[in-house]
Amino acid sequence: MSKKRVIHFTSLDSTNKYIKEHLYDLEPGTIVSTDYQTAGYGRLSRSWLDQKGTNLTFSVFLKETLTSHTSLISQLVAASLIKALEEFNIHCYIKWPNDILLHSKKVAGILVETVIVDKEIYLIIGIGLNVNTQALDPSIESKATSILLETNKEYDRDIILQAIMKHLDLFLSEFRKENYSFMNICRERNALLNQEVYINQYKTKAIVKDIDNNGHLVLKEDNTILRFSGSEVTLTNSYQALGDKEWLK
Ligand code: BTN
């Protein structure tokens, strides 16, 4: 990862927002990172809480040709995080569509935002990874964690960032050659596999069976196979206590 790719701020409201505000000034491949994000946000308009100087909080700006496979990018990012953390012997799972779990708790979140201009798509890939946080905000501590809390070790955030970017770059160059082998990692590390979930939008229960080549979650309801994209459904654990239900949303 070349240094000139990174624009770093000691503090910033949101790295995704910064890229969106500077979309036409930034070179594709630019990484915007901050030591402290004050108004970070995630999927479903949730806020992303940060702690000064302890986590990895960054966004990557890409410009790609729009194809029927572009929606796989968020899975590609999840697979890159899995491979990068594996280098540090940190064995994570993906809670479809794009949360990263360590010991069943959320350690990272991914938010991919897009702007389509003619046949091109501008991608803003936001990643929040809890690295050295010692204590999480009480509102999230039952379902979130940090690498330090799970491994009792402090990590160099820059070295982890380099590992993530190495795998992201590798998977992206394969993706541009229409090689989607990163989907195998998403399938192998599917935290929801064989779990019964409640599909909120359809008010029905089903068992998670797979993730298909379109990045859709494959579920079985009685003898019917259902497939949903990440933007179509939210899931709730259908049989566990409320605390765990929150975990699945
Ligand atoms: C989620 O869990 O819903 C996704 C969370 C994504 C958070 C990251 S932190 C860097 C980037 N900037 C933001 O405002 N959000 C993303």
Q: pLDDT tens digits for 142-173?
A: 999 999 999 999 999 999 999 999 999 999 99
- Ligand 1 centroid – CA 15 distance (Å): 8
- Ligand 1 centroid – CA 220 distance (Å): 31
Which residues have C-beta atoms less than 6 Å from ligand 1?
Answer: 14-16, 37, 40-43, 46, 48, 57-59, 99, 109-111, 126-128
CA distance 137 to 50: 9
Nearest CA to ligand 1 atom 14: 40
| The pLDDT of residue 239 | 52
Q: pLDDT tens digits for 169-190?
A: 999 999 999 999 999 999 999 9
Give the type of residue at 221: E
| The pLDDT of residue 242 | 34
CA distance 11 to 184: 37
- Ligand 1 centroid – CA 127 distance (Å): 5
First to last CA, the chain: 34
181 with 174: CB under 8 angstroms? yes
- Assessment of whether the complete model's pTM goes beyond 0.85: yes
CA distance 201 to 199: 6
